[in-house]
Amino acid sequence: MKSVVKLLPLALSPLLIAAAPPPSAPPLPPAANQALAREALAEMIAVRSVHDVGTAEVAAILVKHLKAGGFTDSEVQVVTDPKYPTQANVVVRLKGKGKGKPILWNGHLDVVEAKPEDWTLPPFQMTEKDGFFYGRGSSDMKQDDAAMMAAIIRLKQERFVPDRDIIIAFTADEEVGLEQDGADYLVRQHRDLVDAEYAIDTDGANGELQDGRRVSMKLNTSEKTYVTLLLEVTNKGGHSSEPRPDNAIYTLASGLTRLAAFQFPYKLNATSRLYFQREAELQPPAIKADMLAVAGPTLDQAAAARIARDPSFNAVLHTTCVATMLSGGHQENALPQRATATVQCRIMPDETPEQTRATLVGVLADPEIKVTIPDKVVSGPESPPDARILDRMQKVTSSMWPGVPVIPHMEAGASDSLYLRAAGIPTYEINGVFEDPRDSRMHGRDERVGVQAFYESVEFTYRLMKETSKAN
């Protein structure tokens, strides 16, 4: 499908960013709504919803609060893939006036494992300490689930009737993914329940703190496609006392040396162009100049090469492929009959795995090196950084934190957004929790979220739900 992309003007309108004089503190939800969000977060953290346990118990907590908050049986549904009975998804709908397709919100209910002996606090119990809530899932992503739940209940209790339906899908098994992924299951098997004009996934992007200062609000509009390739050389082998020039290890190693010297050409898409334009404003003068040169009408190759010295910027500038595993031979006194290498690629969303494979075959330049893609690849297109959508996100961000710019971003990692985008639902990742990326504890020890940051995100989610539900 061809979509119309309205690019934003180069600089953000100053009016949009600095809409109001800085308040003494960002606005927070009413006390009762804060208490509800906190209670739900504590209850959800207390459930060890790792893959082997499943999400049914967390789903029950959400259903309990949603129904107490006024949602009827038909508005809250628990949906479970019969093949994975312990992996429950919850879909709740706040009915609107039918002026436009619904907006879907998405978040996952599962967490990665946490071993009590590795933590200084109990992982499956919420502890408030030094201005933080600690516990597994407090930052990835039960805090976002609690925020979405509290926000939609507040809208319901205020008798707010949106122009169009607001749907939240709380889903199973994001951390493990593949065939039992809850978001994937819902879009494939229950499309009517979750069909939307676009989706907001609160996993992934968030507000960025630098030295305690709020510098930007990230908005992921696309992600690179994860593709693993296998390189393999086979040979008849023989006795190591009689070596020959044809040798599986040497053949593979020569090819890998050519790969090491290769890089994919720099390129931009609508997201990365906006990213560099806006990120430039936060950088020291030399980097700022390079970023603006890269994001200009023609990509400045020399400036791109300088920026690409930073691996996180390099990842945005092109497809990357890197050797990550190597093995060969079967005994010390035998010529190798087989040598293999694993090459991990993160490809730009508009390129196909087959194109990448063909490029590598050319770079390796040796028909003896067989290149295959052993696993299934899921890829989704870039979701257009449409000005109409970005303006709404900026408006709400400015209403909470004046002066903080929303910066579109292409993610090098993978999330549920991939499945939604692959199913034709443009998906935008954003959430209102500010954290310092240098102190991110997602999947790690003593995971935590700032207490104040959490309550602010509950208010942000409420405001964004309201704003994005307006008819176009």
| Residue numbers at the binding site for Zn ion (CB under 5 A) | 140-141, 203
Which residue, 148 or 155, is less far from Zn ion as judged by CB?
148
87 vs 247 by CB, closer to Zn ion: 87
Alpha-carbon distances, residue 179 vs 81, 175, 188, 194, 256 (angstroms):
11, 12, 11, 18, 32
Question: C-beta of 342: minimal distance to Zn ion in Å?
Answer: 25
| CB 8 within 8 Å of CB 16 | no
CB 23, min distance to Zn ion, A: 31
Contact between residue 164 and residue 100 where contact means Cβ atoms under 8 Å apart? yes
Cα distance between residue 16 and residue 96, in whole Å:
28
Q: Residue 322: which of 296, 352, 343 has the closest Cα?
A: 343
**Comparison of 88 and 390: residue with beta carbon closer to Zn ion:** 88
Give the nearer residue to Zn ion in terms of CB position, either 203 or 429.
203
- Residue 203 vs 446, nearer CB to Zn ion: 203
How near is the Cβ of 141 to Zn ion at its closest, in Å? 5
- Is beta strand 132-134 parallel, antiparallel or unpaired with respect to 448-450? antiparallel
Q: List, as one string, the DSSP characters of 21-60.
A: PPPSS-----HHHHHHHHHHHHHHHTS---TTT-SHHHHH
Dihedral sign from CA coordinates of 95, 69, 193, 392 = positive
CB-CB contact of 304 with 294 (8 Å)? yes
Cβ distance to Zn ion smaller for residue 38 or 136: 136
**Residue 442 CB, nearest distance to Zn ion (Å)?**
7
CA distance 427 to 198: 6
Report the nearest approach of Zn ion to the CB of residue 203 (Å): 4
Determine the distance from the C-alpha atom of residue 55 to the mean position of all C-alpha atoms in its chain, rounded to a whole number: 20
Q: To the nearest whole angstrom, how small is the minimum distance from the Cβ of residue 201 to Zn ion?
A: 9
